[in-house]
Amino acid sequence: MRIGAVGRVVSLVPSLTEAIAVTRPGLLVGATDWCTHPAGLDVVRIGGTKNPDTARIAALRPDLVVANEEENRAPDLAALRAAGIPVWVTGIRTLDQAFTSLDRLLTAACGLPRPTWLDEAQRAWRAVPVPAGPPRRAVVPIWRRPWMVLGRDTFAGDLLRRLGVQQLYADHADRYPAVPIDELRAAAPDLVVLPDEPYRFTATDGPEAFPGIPAALLSGRHLTWYGPSLTEAPTLLATQLAAAPA
């Protein structure tokens, strides 16, 4: 995909919003209601990731809209393309893919120099030691009512694997399977990993459903976002995992 001069960008993905805003302040003119980083981002809000206001986006006259195949709906992206707006869609399911995709988005699509934070993030993850001993077997809920967990082929799952966590549903046919709570308990995990997004699990909302099983409360942004948060993610996530009793 060839992109011309880019001076106005709308982002439909919170992690990509942060990546662009940190790399080149002022390039973004629009972002979703869920784009919370960097703090104080002052751009036009164009709705949610699943229900963006395509007319409002078009009115911003962006040179480029950035999206993700998983977070955004194909009909919305098709409507933007039909309006003559270039759309750059990322597809990220591993850490290595994230680094490659971020470099292409920022340098090839947006025409920016490669940011130093991207090099720092790669160094931080290369420095993660090989986990000692057997991995901790875990279920990783991402929602309740109904209960849903990480399954196969996910970015968050790849990060956890690098930190010594083996997902019990990593070979499931679905990427985010719905699994009854009784089945999750019966899987006898060593650990239940509870991120605070997309569902906001807390110390009082989540662990009680897994009596007798150690719970690790993780930063969902550091587990699921691909952007500047990757620089501190390995240390923070490792600390949060270690806080759960073995």
Topology alike, domains 9-114 and 136-242: yes
Mean pLDDT over the full length of the chain: 95
CATH architecture assigned to 9-114: 3-Layer(aba) Sandwich (3.40)
Return phi, psi of residue 222, to 5°. Answer: -75, -20
Residue 186: Cβ-neighbour burial (10 angstroms; 0-12, 13-18, 19+): exposed
Measured distance CA(26)–CA(118) in Å, rounded: 19
Measured distance CA(3)–CA(12) in Å, rounded: 18
Domain 136-242 fold? Rossmann fold (3.40.50)
Q: What percent of the chain has pLDDT over 70?
A: 98
pLDDT of residue 64: 97
- Residue 158: both structure tokens together: 């790849």
Domain boundaries, the chain: 9-114, 136-242
Q: Is 234 left (phi over 0), alpha (psi -120 to 50) or beta?
A: alpha
pLDDT tens figures, 72-89:
999 999 999 999 999 999
Q: Looking at the predicted structure, is the pLDDT value of residue 197 above 80?
A: yes
Its pTM surpasses 0.75: yes
